[in-house]
Amino acid sequence: MESQDDFALSCPIQIQRYPQVLLAHGGGGKLTHQLIERMFAPAFSNPLLGARHDGATFSVNGSRLAFTTDSYVVRPLFFPGGDIGSLAVNGTVNDLAMCGARPLYLSAGFILEEGLPMETLWRVTQSMRRAAAEANVEIVTGDTKVVDKGKGDGVFINTAGVGVIEHGLSISPASVRRGDTILLSGDIGRHGIAIMAAREGLSFECEITSDCAPLAGLVSALIEAGIEIHCLRDLTRGGLASALVEIAEVARVNIKIDEIAIPVREDVRGACEILGFDPLYLANEGRFVAFVASPDAERALSIMSSHPFGGGASIIGDVASASSAIVTLKSRIGGARIVDMLTGEQLPRIC
């Protein structure tokens, strides 16, 4: 039973401004951040959650484990370069990989909308099977619920994952140090534009495909080579910019990046110019940043570059003095600016 206190506690989110949940609360920008910091984090407060990592890492009987979960609500269900099934497997595999863990087992929870064609569900399931095989994980438990027609968007999937950490590195935002070199595993923005184009019926001269891919293999190649990794972060919602801002804030460091060093494909840049988007904020599903000790940077780059999912890797910046927790970017023409988190989702501009 709830105690009297539960009623007396005031909601920490400014409910006068946001009496209802907005789409932007799930956009991965500032409102998502606020929701986590002001509602979920204080409510569930504990040291593992406090690490603000892609997953929780902890020890059980001498084994270090990583545990994470994510829900997938993408529309359309199938898009160039992937689908909700491959996304649901790779997304959780990647969150485990970002903890430095070798992914072992996944759960799969399906929320299905009444009337969904069985053939669609079959295609999603087969895609999950293939993605799990490629990432070398097994889907070992699951759940199915069906909601009334109109109460869902075909298929929603939740996956949780467990992985094992088999090295002595401490990979987390708190381990980031002044002087660290920042590597990016490839070109950014493709997933965001691919989804946007499929959803809105926009067509570009050539098809832009999602970068959806499992990253655990590439991460373990770096670890096995003895690279001194301090932090890893995959660039999903909110893109490169939000990932770096979050790390800068948790680690209390000044992150400096160089716009020219950040690979963005021509077609993605073109789409961004048309829509008024900044590729720094576009979602990716197969890209990550690695903060490594600078003497290891060149070696890490060559390992990434020779891996199929790190082909376009580059060194994009470094960690400077820790006076202020901000991300600064040196622009193409040599000026400088701050990189901030977005308030909500990027919105197509007027002109």
Partner 1 sequence: MKFIDEYRDAKAAGAFARAIAEVTTRPWTLMEVCGGQTHAIVKFGIEELLPDKIALAHGPGCPVCVTPVELIDKAIEIASRPDVIFCSFGDMLRVPGTQKDLFVVKAGGGDVRVVYSPLDCLKIARENPDKQVVFFAVGFETTAPANAMAVYQSHQQGVTNFSILVSHALVPPAMEAILSSPSNRVQGFLAAGHVCTVMGYTEYEPIAARRRVPIVVTGFEPLDILQGVLMCVKQLEEGRAEVENQYARSVRREGNREAQRIIQEVFRIIPRKWRGIGEISQSGFGLSEQYSAFDAETRFGVVDYMADELSECISGLIMQGVRKPHECPAFGARCTPESPLGAPMVSNEGACAAYYRYRRSPLHEGAMAKEV
Q: Could you list the residues that contact partner 1 (CB under 8 A)?
A: 14, 17, 20-24, 30-31, 34, 200, 202, 254, 256, 266, 269-270, 273, 275-276, 320-321, 323-324, 326, 328, 330-338, 340, 343-344, 347-351
| Amino acid type, 18 | Y
Q: How far apart are CA 31 and CA 248, in angstroms?
A: 18
The distance of closest approach from Cβ of residue 330 to partner 1 in the complex, given in angstroms and rounded to an integer, is: 6
139 vs 342 by CB, closer to partner 1 = 342
Sheet holding 138-147, edge to edge: 56-60, 63-72, 155-165, 102-113, 138-147
30 vs 53 by CB, closer to partner 1 = 30
The distance of closest approach from Cβ of residue 72 to partner 1 in the complex, given in angstroms and rounded to an integer, is: 22
8 vs 333 by CB, closer to partner 1 = 333
The distance of closest approach from Cβ of residue 255 to partner 1 in the complex, given in angstroms and rounded to an integer, is: 11
Q: 181 and 227 in contact (C-beta within 8 Å)? A: no
H/E run at residue 249: helix 239-251
H/E run at residue 122: helix 118-135
52 vs 269 by CB, closer to partner 1 = 269
Nearest to 76 by CA among 169, 171, 155: 155
Quick one: CA dihedral 210, 331, 338, 325, positive or negative?
Answer: positive
119 vs 266 by CB, closer to partner 1 = 266
4 vs 20 by CB, closer to partner 1 = 20
Q: How far apart are CA 284 and CA 286, in angstroms?
A: 6
The distance of closest approach from Cβ of residue 322 to partner 1 in the complex, given in angstroms and rounded to an integer, is: 12
**Angle of CA points 116, 120, 124, to nearest 5°:** 120
The distance of closest approach from Cβ of residue 31 to partner 1 in the complex, given in angstroms and rounded to an integer, is: 7
Angle between helices 118-135 and 84-98 (to 10 degrees): 30
Close Cβ partners of 244 (under 8 Å, ≥ 6 residues apart): 182, 255, 257, 289, 327, 339
Q: 245 and 339 in contact (C-beta within 8 Å)? A: yes
The distance of closest approach from Cβ of residue 14 to partner 1 in the complex, given in angstroms and rounded to an integer, is: 8
Q: How far apart are CA 209 and CA 221, in angstroms?
A: 25
The distance of closest approach from Cβ of residue 141 to partner 1 in the complex, given in angstroms and rounded to an integer, is: 34
CB atoms within 10 A of CB 175: 15
46 vs 323 by CB, closer to partner 1 = 323
113 vs 258 by CB, closer to partner 1 = 258
The distance of closest approach from Cβ of residue 209 to partner 1 in the complex, given in angstroms and rounded to an integer, is: 19
